[in-house]
Amino acid sequence: MILAPSLLSSDFARLADEVRRVEEAGADWHHVDVMDGHFVPNMTIGPPVVKALSQVAQKPLDVHLMIEHPARWIEAYAKAGAHAITFHAEAVDGLDGAREALAACRAHGVQVSGIALNPDTPLEPWEPLLPELDMVLVMSVFPGFGGQSFLAHTLEKTRRLRALGYAGFVEMDGGLNQETLPACAEAGADVLVSGSAVFGAPDLAERISTFRAAAEAAAATSAR
Ligand code: DX5
Ligand code: ZN
Protein backbone atom coordinates (compact mmCIF):
# COMPACT_ATOMS: atom_id res chain seq x y z
CA MET A 1 0.00 0.00 0.00
CA ILE A 2 1.44 3.35 -1.04
CA LEU A 3 0.31 6.42 0.88
CA ALA A 4 0.84 9.58 -1.13
CA PRO A 5 -0.05 12.76 0.78
CA SER A 6 -0.85 15.66 -1.54
CA LEU A 7 1.44 18.64 -1.06
CA LEU A 8 -1.44 20.79 -2.34
CA SER A 9 -2.67 20.93 1.27
CA SER A 10 0.75 21.72 2.73
CA ASP A 11 2.12 25.17 3.56
CA PHE A 12 3.51 26.43 0.22
CA ALA A 13 5.61 29.05 2.01
CA ARG A 14 7.54 26.23 3.75
CA LEU A 15 7.61 23.48 1.12
CA ALA A 16 11.00 22.01 2.04
CA ASP A 17 9.97 21.72 5.70
CA GLU A 18 6.65 20.18 4.70
CA VAL A 19 8.40 17.58 2.51
CA ARG A 20 10.65 16.56 5.41
CA ARG A 21 7.80 16.62 7.91
CA VAL A 22 5.56 14.33 5.85
CA GLU A 23 8.47 11.97 5.06
CA GLU A 24 9.31 11.66 8.75
CA ALA A 25 5.62 10.96 9.36
CA GLY A 26 5.75 7.94 7.01
CA ALA A 27 4.66 9.10 3.54
CA ASP A 28 5.66 6.73 0.71
CA TRP A 29 5.30 9.15 -2.22
CA HIS A 30 4.69 12.89 -2.52
CA HIS A 31 1.63 13.62 -4.65
CA VAL A 32 2.26 16.84 -6.59
CA ASP A 33 -0.82 18.52 -8.10
CA VAL A 34 0.01 20.50 -11.23
CA MET A 35 -2.82 22.75 -12.48
CA ASP A 36 -2.72 25.13 -15.43
CA GLY A 37 -5.80 27.35 -15.08
CA HIS A 38 -7.19 25.89 -18.33
CA PHE A 39 -7.85 22.18 -17.82
CA VAL A 40 -8.97 23.01 -14.27
CA PRO A 41 -10.06 26.36 -12.80
CA ASN A 42 -7.02 26.67 -10.54
CA MET A 43 -3.26 27.13 -10.89
CA THR A 44 -0.60 25.62 -8.71
CA ILE A 45 2.98 24.74 -9.47
CA GLY A 46 5.20 24.22 -12.49
CA PRO A 47 8.52 22.58 -13.38
CA PRO A 48 10.80 24.93 -11.38
CA VAL A 49 8.97 24.11 -8.15
CA VAL A 50 8.98 20.37 -8.95
CA LYS A 51 12.74 20.64 -9.48
CA ALA A 52 13.14 22.37 -6.12
CA LEU A 53 11.03 19.67 -4.46
CA SER A 54 13.14 16.93 -6.03
CA GLN A 55 16.23 18.46 -4.44
CA VAL A 56 14.84 18.08 -0.93
CA ALA A 57 12.63 14.99 -1.28
CA GLN A 58 13.96 11.53 -0.40
CA LYS A 59 10.70 9.89 -1.49
CA PRO A 60 9.43 9.72 -5.11
CA LEU A 61 7.47 12.60 -6.62
CA ASP A 62 4.11 11.50 -8.05
CA VAL A 63 3.21 14.30 -10.46
CA HIS A 64 -0.47 14.61 -11.35
CA LEU A 65 -0.78 16.78 -14.45
CA MET A 66 -4.14 18.57 -14.58
CA ILE A 67 -3.13 20.47 -17.70
CA GLU A 68 -3.99 20.78 -21.38
CA HIS A 69 -1.55 19.37 -23.97
CA PRO A 70 0.30 17.19 -21.43
CA ALA A 71 2.60 15.62 -24.05
CA ARG A 72 4.26 19.03 -24.57
CA TRP A 73 5.15 19.29 -20.89
CA ILE A 74 6.23 15.79 -19.93
CA GLU A 75 9.89 16.36 -20.77
CA ALA A 76 10.01 19.38 -18.46
CA TYR A 77 8.45 17.50 -15.53
CA ALA A 78 10.62 14.43 -16.13
CA LYS A 79 13.77 16.58 -16.15
CA ALA A 80 12.53 18.32 -13.00
CA GLY A 81 12.63 14.97 -11.21
CA ALA A 82 9.19 13.37 -11.50
CA HIS A 83 9.25 9.65 -10.66
CA ALA A 84 5.62 9.11 -11.70
CA ILE A 85 3.62 11.21 -14.18
CA THR A 86 -0.11 10.94 -14.69
CA PHE A 87 -1.94 12.94 -17.37
CA HIS A 88 -5.69 13.21 -17.90
CA ALA A 89 -7.65 11.19 -20.45
CA GLU A 90 -9.85 14.27 -21.02
CA ALA A 91 -6.79 16.33 -21.97
CA VAL A 92 -5.52 14.11 -24.81
CA ASP A 93 -6.91 13.29 -28.25
CA GLY A 94 -8.11 9.72 -27.76
CA LEU A 95 -5.91 6.64 -27.63
CA ASP A 96 -3.40 8.09 -30.09
CA GLY A 97 -3.01 11.21 -27.96
CA ALA A 98 -2.56 9.09 -24.84
CA ARG A 99 0.09 6.98 -26.60
CA GLU A 100 1.94 10.15 -27.60
CA ALA A 101 2.07 11.24 -23.96
CA LEU A 102 3.12 7.75 -22.80
CA ALA A 103 5.89 7.72 -25.40
CA ALA A 104 7.13 11.06 -24.03
CA CYS A 105 7.19 9.58 -20.52
CA ARG A 106 9.24 6.62 -21.70
CA ALA A 107 11.58 8.73 -23.81
CA HIS A 108 12.41 10.85 -20.78
CA GLY A 109 12.88 8.04 -18.28
CA VAL A 110 9.72 8.42 -16.21
CA GLN A 111 9.47 5.24 -14.15
CA VAL A 112 5.72 5.17 -13.61
CA SER A 113 3.41 6.59 -16.28
CA GLY A 114 -0.33 6.67 -16.07
CA ILE A 115 -3.63 8.09 -17.10
CA ALA A 116 -6.17 9.85 -14.88
CA LEU A 117 -9.93 9.58 -15.30
CA ASN A 118 -12.35 12.22 -14.05
CA PRO A 119 -15.35 10.97 -12.03
CA ASP A 120 -17.64 11.14 -15.09
CA THR A 121 -15.14 9.64 -17.57
CA PRO A 122 -15.87 5.98 -18.33
CA LEU A 123 -13.07 3.45 -18.27
CA GLU A 124 -14.22 1.38 -21.25
CA PRO A 125 -12.85 3.54 -24.12
CA TRP A 126 -9.43 3.48 -22.43
CA GLU A 127 -9.29 -0.24 -21.74
CA PRO A 128 -7.22 -1.03 -24.86
CA LEU A 129 -4.48 1.08 -23.29
CA LEU A 130 -4.28 -0.82 -20.01
CA PRO A 131 -1.35 -3.09 -21.00
CA GLU A 132 0.70 0.06 -21.68
CA LEU A 133 -0.04 1.79 -18.36
CA ASP A 134 1.94 1.50 -15.13
CA MET A 135 -0.83 3.29 -13.25
CA VAL A 136 -4.45 4.37 -13.56
CA LEU A 137 -5.57 7.30 -11.42
CA VAL A 138 -9.26 7.06 -10.60
CA MET A 139 -10.35 10.54 -9.55
CA SER A 140 -12.85 10.48 -6.70
CA VAL A 141 -13.53 14.24 -6.94
CA PHE A 142 -13.55 16.61 -9.92
CA PRO A 143 -9.99 17.93 -10.09
CA GLY A 144 -9.10 21.49 -9.20
CA PHE A 145 -9.28 21.80 -5.43
CA GLY A 146 -8.49 19.95 -2.24
CA GLY A 147 -11.04 19.41 0.49
CA GLN A 148 -13.96 18.15 -1.65
CA SER A 149 -16.30 15.27 -0.78
CA PHE A 150 -15.57 11.74 -1.99
CA LEU A 151 -17.72 10.50 -4.90
CA ALA A 152 -18.46 6.86 -4.05
CA HIS A 153 -19.64 5.88 -7.54
CA THR A 154 -16.03 6.11 -8.71
CA LEU A 155 -15.18 2.97 -6.70
CA GLU A 156 -16.83 0.95 -9.45
CA LYS A 157 -14.06 1.94 -11.86
CA THR A 158 -11.41 0.64 -9.48
CA ARG A 159 -13.32 -2.62 -9.03
CA ARG A 160 -13.63 -3.01 -12.79
CA LEU A 161 -9.90 -2.46 -13.32
CA ARG A 162 -9.10 -5.31 -10.92
CA ALA A 163 -11.90 -7.50 -12.35
CA LEU A 164 -10.25 -7.06 -15.76
CA GLY A 165 -7.02 -8.33 -14.25
CA TYR A 166 -5.22 -5.00 -14.36
CA ALA A 167 -2.06 -5.50 -12.29
CA GLY A 168 -0.58 -2.00 -12.38
CA PHE A 169 -1.03 0.65 -9.71
CA VAL A 170 -4.56 1.91 -9.16
CA GLU A 171 -4.45 5.29 -7.49
CA MET A 172 -7.44 7.06 -5.99
CA ASP A 173 -7.40 10.79 -5.35
CA GLY A 174 -9.89 13.18 -3.80
CA GLY A 175 -11.84 13.18 -0.56
CA LEU A 176 -9.92 10.28 1.00
CA ASN A 177 -10.16 10.20 4.79
CA GLN A 178 -10.64 7.69 7.61
CA GLU A 179 -14.21 6.97 6.44
CA THR A 180 -13.62 6.70 2.67
CA LEU A 181 -10.10 5.30 2.34
CA PRO A 182 -10.94 1.70 3.41
CA ALA A 183 -13.48 1.41 0.58
CA CYS A 184 -10.80 2.45 -1.93
CA ALA A 185 -8.40 -0.21 -0.68
CA GLU A 186 -11.14 -2.83 -0.60
CA ALA A 187 -12.06 -2.00 -4.22
CA GLY A 188 -8.44 -2.60 -5.25
CA ALA A 189 -6.65 0.75 -5.04
CA ASP A 190 -3.04 0.52 -3.89
CA VAL A 191 -1.94 4.16 -4.15
CA LEU A 192 -3.96 6.39 -1.87
CA VAL A 193 -3.71 10.18 -2.16
CA SER A 194 -4.85 12.38 0.67
CA GLY A 195 -4.36 16.12 1.02
CA SER A 196 -6.50 17.86 3.60
CA ALA A 197 -6.99 14.79 5.80
CA VAL A 198 -3.22 14.36 6.20
CA PHE A 199 -1.94 17.93 6.34
CA GLY A 200 -4.94 18.99 8.45
CA ALA A 201 -4.12 16.40 11.11
CA PRO A 202 -2.72 17.55 14.46
CA ASP A 203 -0.27 14.61 14.34
CA LEU A 204 0.83 13.64 10.82
CA ALA A 205 2.56 10.40 11.81
CA GLU A 206 -0.47 9.22 13.75
CA ARG A 207 -2.76 10.05 10.83
CA ILE A 208 -0.59 8.28 8.23
CA SER A 209 -0.18 5.16 10.36
CA THR A 210 -3.93 5.05 11.04
CA PHE A 211 -4.62 5.37 7.31
CA ARG A 212 -2.10 2.66 6.49
CA ALA A 213 -3.54 0.23 9.03
CA ALA A 214 -7.11 0.91 7.82
CA ALA A 215 -6.14 0.48 4.16
CA GLU A 216 -4.18 -2.71 4.75
CA ALA A 217 -7.00 -4.23 6.79
CA ALA A 218 -9.55 -3.36 4.09
CA ALA A 219 -7.34 -4.75 1.31
CA ALA A 220 -6.86 -7.98 3.24
CA THR A 221 -10.59 -8.52 3.64
CA SER A 222 -11.38 -7.79 -0.01
CA ALA A 223 -11.98 -10.73 -2.33
CA ARG A 224 -9.13 -9.91 -4.70
C1 DX5 B 1 -7.62 17.55 -6.63
C2 DX5 B 1 -6.23 17.00 -6.47
C3 DX5 B 1 -6.07 16.17 -5.26
C4 DX5 B 1 -6.25 16.91 -3.96
C5 DX5 B 1 -6.72 15.94 -2.91
O6 DX5 B 1 -7.69 18.29 -7.79
O7 DX5 B 1 -5.91 16.20 -7.60
O8 DX5 B 1 -4.81 15.52 -5.27
O9 DX5 B 1 -5.10 17.54 -3.51
O10 DX5 B 1 -7.05 16.67 -1.78
P11 DX5 B 1 -8.09 16.11 -0.71
O12 DX5 B 1 -7.50 14.87 -0.13
O13 DX5 B 1 -8.18 17.22 0.27
O14 DX5 B 1 -9.39 15.84 -1.43
ZN1 ZN C 1 -4.06 14.93 -7.42
Question: What's the rounded Cα separation, in Å, for the pair 205 and 202?
Answer: 9
Strand partners, 111: none
Strand partners, 218: none
Question: What's the rounded Cα separation, in Å, for the pair 16 and 23?
Answer: 11
Q: 3, 9, 191: which to mutate for ligand 1, most atoms within 8 A of CB?
A: 9
pLDDT at 85: 99
Q: How much of the chain, in percent, has pLDDT values that exceed 90? A: 98
How many angstroms does the Cα of residue 147 sit away from the middle of ligand 1?
7
For residue 92, what are the domain limits? 2-223
173 catalytic residue (yes or no): yes
Question: What's the rounded Cα separation, in Å, for the pair 183 and 223?
Answer: 13
Asked if pLDDT for residue 175 goes beyond 90, the answer is yes
pLDDT at 48: 98
Q: With a 6 A CB cut-off, is 35 part of the ligand 1 pocket?
A: no
36 catalytic residue (yes or no): no
Ligand 1: nearest atom to the Cα of 142: 6
Catalytic residue among 28, 93, 134, 173: 173
Q: 145, 172, 179, 198: which to mutate for ligand 1, most atoms within 8 A of CB?
A: 145
- Cut 0.75: pTM above it: yes
Beta strands across the sheet bearing 30-35: 2-5, 191-194, 169-173, 135-139, 112-117, 84-88, 61-66, 30-35
Average per-residue pLDDT for the chain: 98
pLDDT (tens digit, 9 = 90+) per residue, 116-164?
999 999 999 999 999 999 999 999 999 999 999 999 999 999 999 999 9
pLDDT at 223: 55
pLDDT (tens digit, 9 = 90+) per residue, 52-95?
999 999 999 999 999 999 999 999 999 999 999 999 999 999 99
The total number of structural domains in the chain stands at 1
Question: What's the rounded Cα separation, in Å, for the pair 70 and 140?
Answer: 21
pLDDT at 222: 84
pLDDT category at 224 given cuts 50, 70, 90 is: low
Question: What's the rounded Cα separation, in Å, for the pair 60 and 83?
Answer: 6
Residues in CB range of 91: below 8 A, 6 or more apart: 39, 65, 66, 67, 68, 69, 70
- Output the domain CATH number for residue 198: 3.20.20.70
Residues with CB under 5 A from ligand 2 (ion): 33, 64, 173
